[in-house]
Amino acid sequence: MKLSQQVIYQIYPKSFYDSDGDGIGDLRGIIDKIPYLQKLHVNMIWFNPFFVSPQNDNGYDIADYYRIDPTFGTMSDFEALVAKLKAVGIGVMLDMVFNHTSTEHVWFQKALAGDRKYQRFYYLRHAKPDGSLPTNWESKFGGPAWSPFGDTDLYYLHLYDPTQADLDWHNPAVRAACADVVNYWRDKGVKGFRFDVINVTGKANQLVDAPKGVASKTLYTDTPVVQDYLRELNAASFGQDANSVTVGEMSSTTIKNSIGYTNPDNHELSMVFNFHHLKTDYVDGRKWSRMPFDFPRLKHLLDGWATGMDAGNGWQALFWNNHDQPRALNRFGDAGRYRVKSAEMLATVIHLMRGTPFIYMGEEIGMTDPDYDSMADYVDIEALNAYRALVRSGYSHADAFTIVKTKARDNSRTPMQWDASAKAGFTTGRPWLRPTNQAKINVADELAHGELFNYYQQLIKLRQTMPIVADGSYQTWRLDDDQVFGYWRQLGSQKLLVLNNFYAAATTVDCPTEMLTAKVLLSNYDEVTIQPKLVLKPYQSLALLLDEN
């Protein structure tokens, strides 16, 4: 099946299903739930890392790229998982974390022991003549991006946690080692690869201070050399598979660069994630802040990226949710009164757009953020650091908690809610994160009585069976509407108009004259009448299909 026809489901293994009662999800648990995944009809599953790791950043601090962390199972479990998914037509996508390794990785440990070969794997620098750190760069998790390198007079770079040492991609041996990792998993039957923060690998050889008032990330993010690295990695590994599927996580990227990363003629990646639309509820670009989402800005970003990528033959990974984001329902929908309808609307926006849709586990049953009441419930290092930083900057403990509660990554990492029991049917032990609303939102109830899972099935089927959804062009529809985000898709003689009401108030739009004879392809409300004045109910999505033949 072509990339444009596929839908990818993301599983955070730690939170999907626990087969052995230790409170942490595992590979055997995923195997147990394959019938559920098959029922949804997704084509591939992206798994967050389950490699050996001290888990300082929930597996994104990898200590061994070649071994399964015993917390999640064994290599035999993984091989069984790949085989059983393949048997039902589902592919596997693994998360490759190549910007950095854990400081427990053998490469870093050898570097610490004085091995010059492996010291060249990392960014090791002397302090400045005045004794200050090599540069003024800030870690994305807070604090300086440099830490002392053992008992030497050197410092090592870590753009994230101090236990995540950045690899120096200028070194050909580093690039070759990363290709070797990809090829190892290709030999295990893996056809999909997601590359974590891959566009921050393009740092300069000479690292310099960020000018006053300029964010340090601008010095190393999305630089031209990243595309050289990706072409080389493609040729040395996954590019040798005609049906490989790759996606790059691109921090602060641009449409122009993302076209470069994904245009098939460049032989780099299949598609990219960008996060601009998920920053429309940030005050002045600050994540740890609180405000209603900016709908005009959200629309312009969604539309601008879709239009630009279409024009340049680039390809997007389309998503609202992942393991690093609070649940979209709480941010862009109505998690209370209109939970189901707004979930269906949000799903329609991306599943009928040009690109490859990703579903994050639980999204298809309308899971929402947990209702935690203290910082004691959170475990993520980013949230804990942010809370302390907010308090230090003058926020009250209550206000700091309120902000963290709306933006914490743990919001999406709570266990998958399989049933209404106290542990959500996730484990017989103590869940590593506490679920809070499983009594009303869970798989068992959704499959028995709900409409949302079925709606996702419909969306997936449309992409897999209708060329206009998979391959149609994208055009803008009335960006100035106060409540509706709409767009056109077109392929041959067919036109598809997709209208999405982002609010709890009904609204009326003028139906284009040519669409008055169209048919209703999809709606999340029954009994739709096409007329010159189209009334969209709260959080209604409506897709009208016209075939001019």
Mean pLDDT of 201-216: 96
User: In this predicted model, what pLDDT tens digit does every residue of 47-88 receive, in sequence order?
Assistant: 999 999 999 998 999 999 999 999 999 999 999 999 999 999
Active site annotation includes 95: no
| 398, 450 contact by CB (below 8 A) | no
Q: Distance (Å, rounded) from C-alpha 3 to C-alpha 7?
A: 8
Taking each helix axis as running N to C, give the angle between helix 225-236 and helix 255-262, from 0 to 180 degrees, rounded to the nearest 10: 20
- How many other C-beta atoms are found inside a 10 Å radius of the C-beta of residue 144? 16
Q: Which of 477, 478, 513, 518 is nearest to 494 (CA)?
A: 518
User: In this predicted model, what pLDDT tens digit does every residue of 485-532 receive, in sequence order?
Assistant: 999 999 999 999 999 999 999 999 999 999 999 999 999 999 899 999
User: In this predicted model, what pLDDT tens digit does every residue of 336-345 receive, in sequence order?
Assistant: 999 999 999 9
Mean pLDDT of 434-450: 97
Q: What is the dihedral of CA 18, 22, 24, 27, to 10 degrees?
A: -50
Catalytic residue, from 249, 303, 364, 369: name it.
Answer: 249
Q: Which of 319, 322, 326 is nearest to 351 (CA)?
A: 319
| Phi/psi of residue 316, nearest 5 degrees | -100, 150
Q: What is the dihedral of CA 281, 285, 288, 292, to 10 degrees?
A: -20
**Mean pLDDT, the chain, whole residue set:** 97
**Given pLDDT bands bounded at 50, 70 and 90, which one contains residue 141?**
confident
Mean pLDDT of 446-451: 98
The conformational region for residue 215 under phi > 0 = left, psi -120 to 50 = alpha, else beta, is beta
Catalytic residue, from 57, 168, 196, 334: name it.
Answer: 196
DSSP result, 458-477: HHHHHHHH-HHHHH-EEEEE
**Given pLDDT bands bounded at 50, 70 and 90, which one contains residue 142?**
confident
Pairing status of strand 473-477 against strand 484-491: antiparallel
**Given pLDDT bands bounded at 50, 70 and 90, which one contains residue 191?**
very high
Mean pLDDT of 367-376: 97
Q: Which residues contact 315 (CB under 8 A, 6 or more apart)?
A: 3, 4, 262, 270, 271, 272, 309, 355, 356
Residue corresponding to tokens 């809070």: 436
Q: What is the dihedral of CA 392, 398, 404, 410, to 10 degrees?
A: 120
DSSP result, 336-348: STTHHHHHHHHHH
Pairing status of strand 192-195 against strand 494-501: unpaired
Answer whether residue 174 shows pLDDT above 90: yes
Answer whether residue 549 shows pLDDT above 80: no
User: In this predicted model, what pLDDT tens digit does every residue of 264-313 receive, in sequence order?
Assistant: 999 999 999 999 999 999 999 999 999 999 999 999 999 999 999 999 99
Instruction: Give the angle 391-393-396 at the CA atoms, nearest 5°.
Output: 40
Give strand ranges (E) for 295-438.
317-318, 356-360
DSSP result, 373-399: -SGGG---HHHHHHHHHHHHTT--HHH
Q: Is 172 helix (H, G, I), strand (E, B) or coil?
A: helix
| 27, 16 contact by CB (below 8 A) | no
Give the DSSP letter of residue 75: H
| 382, 344 contact by CB (below 8 A) | no
| 505, 525 contact by CB (below 8 A) | no
> What's the half-sphere exposure (Cβ side, CA atoms, 13 Å) at 96?
30
Residue type, 189: G
Q: Report the pLDDT value the prediction gives residue 548, as an integer from 0 to 100.
A: 81
**Given pLDDT bands bounded at 50, 70 and 90, which one contains residue 28?**
very high
* Cα-only R_g, the chain: 23
Q: Is 288 helix (H, G, I), strand (E, B) or coil?
A: coil
For residue 542, the cross-strand partners are 499, 523
Active site annotation includes 363: no
Answer whether residue 381 shows pLDDT above 90: no
